[in-house]
Amino acid sequence: MTIIQICADDFGQDPLINEAIFKLFEAKRLSATSVLIEGSHVTSCIQDIQKAHNNGLEVGLHFNLTLNFPNIEGQCIKPLFQWILLSQLGLINTNQVRQAFVSQLSRFEDLFGFMPDYIDGHQHVHQFSGIGQVLLDEVFNRYSKNELPWIRNTLLPSGATNIPQVTKCLILQLLGGKQFKKLLSMTNIPSNAGFLGVYGFNAPTEASYRALAQAWLKNSRSNTLIMCHPAVSSVVNDAIGHQRPIEFNYLSSDAFQEDLELFNISIGTN
């Protein structure tokens, strides 16, 4: 039996997303959720998150530098393409990034009463050159070596073949993924063993999304992380809002359970 992680990103962005995540966790269809801690729909779910965490849900910080939320002071928000350009040119303002990261970490701990089990990034900004090292420095500054959160890397599992829409995966590697994984290994920070779930949010039916998921499950290794973005129905004012219920419907279906059994996989934690 291969034990993998299923992580739902974007908790706190919308009530429809939150509802889907709680339902999937209760059904034992995911193991972790990444929280947009400055999101407008976090504070209403503090006790629910604490209860789920006590029952085994891993709760992580979804470090955000691209999605603007109202009534939050000190945000460091830019469009994704600007972060990519600044990163590639070596022009990241590390002080601004550090302040944003510390602010979000502190807010997470203050609201939930526990440190994040892990850290990742909205649109994977946490691994960009000039940003990743800032995060690692602050993690070591903030936590003792025996309580470090694990940190997401975006490299494919070892020996992965026939990955659908693999170009997007390779782009993530080029935008800092390979170098960031080296940093994690050099500093002995725990991480996932392979990353899957990347696609263009272009699977219009449950069947087409299932085909993607089957390829991911087939290529999963022990401690591989599969990312998902579910919601119980379409989310308005969200670039991927149309895709979210398709993911949710599959993940909550008998078909997903059949696929787990087909590939001899169970869902666990890092």
> In this predicted model, what pLDDT tens digit does every residue of 184-235 receive, in sequence order?
999 999 999 999 999 999 999 999 999 999 999 999 999 999 999 999 999 9
Angle (CA) 255-16-239 rounded to 5° is: 90
| 91 to 74, 95, 241, 252: CA distances (angstroms) | 20, 12, 32, 43
- Quick check: pTM over 0.85? yes
| pLDDT computed for residue 215 by the predictor | 97
Looking at residue 39, the DSSP 8-state letter turns out to be S
> In this predicted model, what pLDDT tens digit does every residue of 136-173 receive, in sequence order?
999 999 999 889 999 999 999 999 999 999 999 999 99
How far apart (Å, rounded) are the C-alpha atoms in residues 204 and 74?
38
* Mean pLDDT of the chain, nearest integer: 96
pLDDT over 80 (residue 71): no
| pLDDT computed for residue 1 by the predictor | 92
Strand partners, 118: 150
3-state secondary structure of 105: helix
How far apart (Å, rounded) are the C-alpha atoms in residues 182 and 158?
15
Q: Which domain holds residue 56?
A: 2-267
Tell me the CATH number at 169.
3.20.20.370
pLDDT over 70 (residue 270): no
Residue type, 4: I
| pLDDT computed for residue 73 by the predictor | 74
4, two tokens: 């993998």
| pLDDT computed for residue 145 by the predictor | 87
Average pLDDT over residues 98-104: 96
pLDDT above 90 covers a percentage of the chain that reads 95
Q: How many domains does the chain have?
A: 1
Average pLDDT over residues 121-148: 95
Looking at residue 235, the DSSP 8-state letter turns out to be P
Q: Which of 172-176, 245-249, 252-256 has the lowest mean pLDDT?
A: 172-176
Q: To the nearest 10°, the Cα dihedral for 35, 39, 43, 49?
A: -20
- 153 torsion bin: left (phi>0), alpha (psi -120 to 50), beta (else): beta
